[in-house]
Structure 1
């Protein structure tokens, strides 16, 4: 008797050694399953097995020795989920489970990771059935195998997430290169400028730019693609390249908008569109020509008269229709010391219940005063940082300002 127990113990230790060696050899999940199936059928003489494992949902991991039509009828939530220990499958179970003998739950971190159904091949065999004889051992090796599979899956998922994270970090760095940095913002005897850019995720669909055409003219724009994240960022990056290629002081703004609209329609899906404000300022004549394509109207504040003007003239957003029905180009002379604020809708959508809410009125109050542009931007960015602290930021945020000197 003792000799037989020693033989059985050595037999089981040898099987566990085979399993741990297979795990240490970093076999694939498919190969681990084959090893597990081989041990159950060839070594332990189990005749039927069904393994259901939970990833994001329940899936059939292994079905062997049993008709798939039977396992198709198994509903995890109603047939198995109420059992948290090894359970003999009696007549109280649904009829389609009666071809199995035992239900074995597998736990991982206090949660059920898998359910295993086992049964004998020969229902009328003499002596102790393999399912009963090896029941606890089957539970042990099942835990080892299933948890090893889960760890491999989680490790693979972690590697994939790390790869995505690195790609997103690289994409973020590349996108940031498209946005003017502090040192490249135009500063001269005619104007000074400030800018702020904060995507909601690592990358976003906002964009602003300054282009010094010559010693007399400055081009600038701000845009916002509908949506957030990678799709919006891809459209905006493509748009930035297109705009840089087409935007020049010799091309009328209405003609430019038609060209840009065609490019956006060609490169984006039907549900994506882009709002844009674009302008050209002449230092000598102090004339500003602009088009507002369904963007939030920039705010122009006159230090001398204390008047506020919203720059609204323009057209529909780019990509909304194959052809823009009508385009109105705005012309304005900036005769006095003034400042202009251009922004995306993320600035006025900072909202967190009663904790914080920024709308157009507050933005206008923060901007429409006689503070210089630098101090004005300190006020604006202070509110943005407060919104980030309160988790009130729900969209990409971009803004820039131009102070037109007297």
Structure 2
């Protein structure tokens, strides 16, 4: 121990015996600052005031015993994301007492009488653990800040302003399961007569998925002026990502290009969940599936099928990622495509795109019944007015 090279740690000694406090203080005072408390209740008060690095705690004391004091101190630590190690020093050296002490939150247990060298060794070992904990928390804080930056960049890449096109209404919502995610949606006005609609889902979560999503956006935008075919766009994106990214991720994607004057939409899918096209006049619901096309980034040669459909008047196109349909309630049953289909048909008759989107979100939240989403989710709705 070299007190000149680092600040002296403060140790709180808790014991109702002044003699024991004096003995421990004499062992520690060369290398550590010390303070003391005479029972568990005073220990909690001293912990708040002195903010010690380590606590040496007796068990059998008046007003509040050491086990109870340990629980209260650990609760206060938890509120502040702190870690104050506690070593029990007591004459109760039986296995049951040791178990109770460790279960109450203690880090170590030393029976009286003890040798000064053993006490110093235990103190040094526990303080090393505290140092490692602090270093880990600092590392987490750095990662947290970096994730905040990535999340901010990702939010800036998402479509901020929904299209304003006569005869159409739009809704889009995105919820990451962590600060950043691999879900992505975009509306791109290719030219005066064409609108592109993209929904994609990068496997995994967090910053790596978000970076791949950003790459996909850049590649997509670079092709829009020269390629209008959804099939060709997805195939080009796949080739480019396979050439430049070896992270072991994959992307499912749906891309549709709508000819606005005729409402004809060409679309292609790379293994993505089938969007729903609901015709409210007829009551028909069409799942927009394709036969060819597996997720992107699996193999550079990915032959993708392209289809065409007319978006009827008084219809809605509902695109989503699997985090929405795979949300699980308390019974672990998934929300599912059929539930989404039924609710979109029933509620969508009287609701516009924006209010339907919010209603579907509220419905799946109620289905979760207090559980959290375990995956990113995106919901995009395009409404063709009657």
- Is TM-score (shorter-chain normalized) higher than 0.5? yes
CA contact (8 A) 1:235 1:267 kept: no
Task: Report the equivalent of 2:220.
Answer: 243
1:401 aligns with 2:381: yes
Judging changes above 3 Å, is the alpha-carbon distance between structure 1 residues 197 and 389 closer, same or farther for their aligned structure 2 residues?
A: farther
CA contact (8 A) 2:229 2:257 kept: no
1:375 aligns with 2:375: no
Q: Following superposition of structure 1 onto structure 2, how do residues 88-167 of structure 1 map, counting pairs within 5 Å?
A: 113=107, 136-167=115-146
Judging changes above 3 Å, is the alpha-carbon distance between structure 1 residues 17 and 108 closer, same or farther for their aligned structure 2 residues?
A: farther
Distance 1:355 1:275 in 2: 24
Judging changes above 3 Å, is the alpha-carbon distance between structure 1 residues 290 and 11 closer, same or farther for their aligned structure 2 residues?
A: closer
Distance 2:288 2:104 in 1: 60
Task: Report the equivalent of 2:31.
Answer: 19
The CA deviation string for residues 294-348 of structure 1, in whole angstroms up to 9 with x for no partner, is 1111001112222211111252221222201x33211122242211000001111
1:319 aligns with 2:319: no
**Stretches of 4+ moved more than 6 A in 1?**
10-15
1:391 aligns with 2:368: no
Task: Report the equivalent of 1:170.
Answer: 149
Task: Report the equivalent of 1:273.
Answer: 250
State the Cα distance separating 1:383 from its structure 2 match: 2.1
Q: Which sits farther off after the overlay, 356-365 or 224-233?
A: 224-233
Which of 202, 205, 215 is residue 179 of structure 2 equivalent to? 202
Q: Following superposition of structure 1 onto structure 2, how do residues 216-295 of structure 1 map, counting pairs within 5 Å?
A: 216-248=193-225, 250-269=227-246, 271-295=248-272
CA contact (8 A) 2:318 2:381 kept: yes
Distance 1:307 1:200 in 2: 33
Please report the RMSD computed on the Cα atoms of aligned residues, expressed in angstroms: 3.3
Structure of larger gyration radius = 1
The CA deviation string for residues 1-24 of structure 1, in whole angstroms up to 9 with x for no partner, is xxxxxxxxx999787344227xxx
Judging changes above 3 Å, is the alpha-carbon distance between structure 1 residues 315 and 356 closer, same or farther for their aligned structure 2 residues?
A: closer
State the Cα distance separating 1:110 from its structure 2 match: 5.8
What SS is found at the alignment partner of 2:159? coil
Distance 1:284 1:249 in 2: 21
Judging changes above 3 Å, is the alpha-carbon distance between structure 1 residues 200 and 388 closer, same or farther for their aligned structure 2 residues?
A: farther
Task: Report the equivalent of 1:305.
Answer: 282
What SS is found at the alignment partner of 2:115? helix
Where does the alignment leave 5 or more consecutive residues of structure 2 unmatched? 1-21, 34-91, 95-100
Task: Report the equivalent of 1:101.
Answer: none
Give the number of equivalent residue pairs: 301
Task: Report the equivalent of 1:59.
Answer: none
Task: Report the equivalent of 1:69.
Answer: none
State the Cα distance separating 1:389 from its structure 2 match: 5.2
State the Cα distance separating 1:282 from its structure 2 match: 1.6
TM-score by length of 1: 0.65
State the Cα distance separating 1:157 from its structure 2 match: 1.7
Distance 2:24 2:359 in 1: 72
The CA deviation string for residues 339-388 of structure 1, in whole angstroms up to 9 with x for no partner, is 10000011111113427641111100111241322332122110233355
State the Cα distance separating 1:396 from its structure 2 match: 1.0
What SS is found at the alignment partner of 1:162? helix
What SS is found at the alignment partner of 1:213? strand
